[in-house]
Amino acid sequence: MFNIQDVLLDTFKKLIDQFAEFIGNFIPAIILLVVGYFVAKLIGNLLRKGLEKAGLDKLGETLNKIDIVKKIGEIKLSAVISKTVYYFILLVFVTASTQKLGMKVLTDMVASMVALIPKLIAAAIMLTVGVLIADALKNMIINICRSLKIDSGKLLGSIIFFFFLIIATIAALKQAGIETSLLESSFNIIIGGIIMGFAIGYGIASRDILSNILSSFYSKNKFKEGQTIAVDGVKGEIISLDTTSLTLRTDSTQTIIPLSILQNKKVEIFE
């Protein structure tokens, strides 16, 4: 027969030892958390002030001017970066505290979060650069179309912007360690279908417009406002000239002539 009293005493002694060990580890763990909080807070504040003085927020102002960023909300880069560093340092101390307490599951979870933060920072930088490049290309397309007097410049610029934005987003997700194979294949199929459909539809519906636009490249150096010409029996003074047509002022009316006619009709120019 075993002695019940000895078993109870031995069990109680083990519980007391485990509790004492936990308390002995709990106090240093709490101290680590408190120290980590103040260290993270201090470094975060110093970094934010340093980035503000370095003028990093000017880049944020450039981002805030982009339409899609305006809809999301105002971005202050110094605050975002300093807050990210703050949480990174704090999580490092949380990992050390959980290790002190012997909580392996919690330690592994926090450690994986710590390892994810640098990837998220790199992904955010990649996405920011992608947005800036996409916006610069959009503005360039709009300016080029405006200089050529093409009315659909804003539409083309928006298409280019979202195209490069999606590419930058996929690259950022891949940098963050997220599988993007299905997203990439779907994007390629959608883009291919859109381009093919747009090319066929736009080519059929706008062949006359495209013909006039192409004619403008050949005609812009031959004709100018103020000239008197005769086209297909219509004589008048050129009062306006754009990418698709020219307008003649006759005796009592104004006649709009598509530029493509200038390539296959006899045109007389009067000095």
Mean pLDDT by 10 residues, the chain (271 residues): 62 65 72 86 87 76 72 75 85 81 73 78 82 85 78 78 83 79 74 70 58 59 76 79 77 77 73 69
Nearest to 63 by CA among 74, 54, 52: 74
Pick the CATH number of 211-270 from 3.90.79.10, 2.30.30.60, 2.40.50.100, 2.60.15.10: 2.30.30.60
The sign one gets for the Cα dihedral 139, 141, 147, 152 is negative
User: In which element (H, E) is residue 154 found?
Assistant: helix 153-175
Q: What is the pLDDT of residues 20-47, one digit of tens each?
A: 666 666 777 788 888 888 988 898 888 8
Please give the pLDDT value at position 2. 54
Phi, psi of 248 (to 5 degrees): -105, 135
User: Between the CA of residue 205 and those of 202, 215, 245, what are the distances in Å?
Assistant: 5, 17, 18
Domain range summary for the chain, segments of one domain joined by +: 4-180, 211-270
Q: CA torsion, points 243, 244, 247, 248, in degrees to nearest 10?
A: 110
Query: Could you give the CA distance from residue 232 to residue 263 in angstroms, rounded to a whole number?
Result: 12
Q: What is the pLDDT of residues 237-269, one digit of tens each?
A: 888 877 777 788 887 788 887 777 766 777 777
The sign one gets for the Cα dihedral 104, 109, 114, 116 is positive
Query: Could you give the CA distance from residue 137 to residue 181 in angstroms, rounded to a whole number?
Result: 26
User: Between the CA of residue 12 and those of 5, 19, 20, 24, 73, what are the distances in Å?
Assistant: 11, 10, 12, 18, 59
Query: Could you give the CA distance from residue 40 to residue 119 in angstroms, rounded to a whole number?
Result: 20
Contact between residue 244 and residue 208 where contact means Cβ atoms under 8 Å apart? no
User: In which element (H, E) is residue 185 found?
Assistant: helix 181-205
Return left, alpha or beta for 137; rule: phi > 0 is left, psi -120 to 50 is alpha, else beta. Answer: alpha
Phi, psi of 68 (to 5 degrees): -65, -30
